[in-house]
Amino acid sequence: MCELLQCGEFEKTMLARTVLLQMANSKKMEAFVRGNGWAVRSAARFVAGETAEAAIVPVRALNDQGITATLDLLGESVTNEQEVAEVLDTYLHLFEIISQEKLNANVSIKLTALGLDLDPELCKRNMLRLLKAAGPEQFVRIDMESSAYTQATLDLFYGLWNGPDKFRNVGAVIQSYLRRSADDIEDLIKARARVRLCKGAYKEPANVAFPDKSDVDANYVRLMQRLLSDGNYPGIATHDEKMITATREYARANDIGADRFEFQMLFGIRRDLQSLLIKQGYRVRVYTPFGTHWYPYMMRRLAERPANLWFVMKNALRG
């Protein structure tokens, strides 16, 4: 291993990222961190609270700035039907809160949290219950997980979209790092489905996903252009200023109004950019996670940008 002081910036960042990702999976570290006030204060930067009720204040603060939200219950993989039922109940409760508190928010959900691994039929039944409860005024975005779930997720999505109820309050997510995504986007455009475009967050093999960031970015721009031209109110989910500039330029050049798409970012990340886009007349939605499983989520956000560690350390010193 290189001596830390002799490392370049890149090596230091990669080292910090590896350590943070290892810490994200450590139960001992989780117990230690969760017991510390400074860590809880730091988590509040990235997570809206431990309960749906706690998330009301931060979501209202976003709404007051003209930013909409999509609420996501943080969770680890569910292992039995009881845990799945608890996730379903939390989302049903969330719809009540959104409507009672008049929050400008929708919800995002992972199908594995609704039981996809346990029983795909159970997962489908749960999605049906969720979409019926959501009604036409609420919207449910199905997050995209690793490539092991891509086909199953899209199959379930089309089952809901084309099924007897023809749900229109549901949307899909496509990841630009996947080689298959150009074809998936064309199918979703044909279906008039609502798509969130992101780069993709999982470790994938090279035969499935582009290993080079430049290819992921180039594909992102291509898919963004397809969605802006022919898609149905796409969500352009990224903090990458190059992707955001490309989106704005393409929209301007093709006379696509700022009301025909929205930018999406994560809670607590690039808040400066979120406000700037709002001031410039764009729509911004912030992915707002909440729940007790905030530790691995916070560690992954820190690993994406180890410079954020300074912010955590400042909180620790203040504590």
Ligand X SMILES: Cc1cc2nc3c(=O)[nH]c(=O)nc-3n(C[C@H](O)[C@H](O)[C@H](O)COP(=O)(O)OP(=O)(O)OC[C@H]3O[C@@H](n4cnc5c(N)ncnc54)[C@H](O)[C@@H]3O)c2cc1C
Considering the rule CB under 6 A, would residue 106 count as an interface residue with ligand X? no
Closest C-alpha among 113, 43, 60 to residue 289: 43
Considering the rule CB under 6 A, would residue 305 count as an interface residue with ligand X? yes
> What part of residues 272-291 is at the interface with ligand X (CB under 6 A)?
287
Considering the rule CB under 6 A, would residue 239 count as an interface residue with ligand X? yes
With CB under 6 A as the contact rule, the residue among 168, 240, 309, 311 that binds ligand X is 240
User: Catalytic residue among 194, 196, 285, 301, which?
Assistant: 196
**Which one of the spans 35-43, 99-107, 233-241, 289-297 is the region binding ligand X (CB under 6 A)?**
233-241
Helix, strand, coil percentages for the chain (3-state, nearest 5): 55, 15, 30
Q: Cβ closer to ligand X: 158 or 202?
A: 202
User: Catalytic residue among 72, 141, 143, 283, which?
Assistant: 143
> What part of residues 115-144 is at the interface with ligand X (CB under 6 A)?
143-144
DSSP, collapsed to helix, strand or coil, labels residue 70 as strand
With CB under 6 A as the contact rule, the residue among 147, 175, 274, 288 that binds ligand X is 175
Within its chain, how far is the Cα of 27 from the centroid?
24
- Distance between CA 114 and CA 196 in Å, rounded? 20
- Distance between CA 301 and CA 20 in Å, rounded? 9
Considering the rule CB under 6 A, would residue 193 count as an interface residue with ligand X? no
Q: Cβ closer to ligand X: 126 or 288?
A: 288
- Distance between CA 241 and CA 269 in Å, rounded? 13
The angle formed by the CA atoms of residues 36, 38 and 42, to the nearest 5 degrees, is 120
Considering the rule CB under 6 A, would residue 69 count as an interface residue with ligand X? no
Q: Cβ closer to ligand X: 49 or 171?
A: 171
Greatest CA span in the chain, whole angstroms? 63
Spatial CB neighbours of 41, under 8 Å, sequence gap ≥ 6: 315, 318, 319
Considering the rule CB under 6 A, would residue 301 count as an interface residue with ligand X? yes
Spatial CB neighbours of 160, under 8 Å, sequence gap ≥ 6: 124, 127, 128, 131, 167, 170
217 counts as catalytic: no
Question: Tokens standing for 124?
Answer: 């489908």
**Which one of the spans 2-10, 11-19, 85-93, 200-208 is the region binding ligand X (CB under 6 A)?**
200-208
With CB under 6 A as the contact rule, the residue among 198, 224, 284, 312 that binds ligand X is 198
Strand partners, 297: none
With CB under 6 A as the contact rule, the residue among 219, 247, 308, 315 that binds ligand X is 308
H or E element at residue 114: none
143 counts as catalytic: yes
Residue ranges in contact with ligand X by CB under 6 A:
143-144, 173, 175, 198-202, 237-240, 264-266, 269-270, 287, 301, 304-305, 308
Residues involved in catalysis: 143, 196
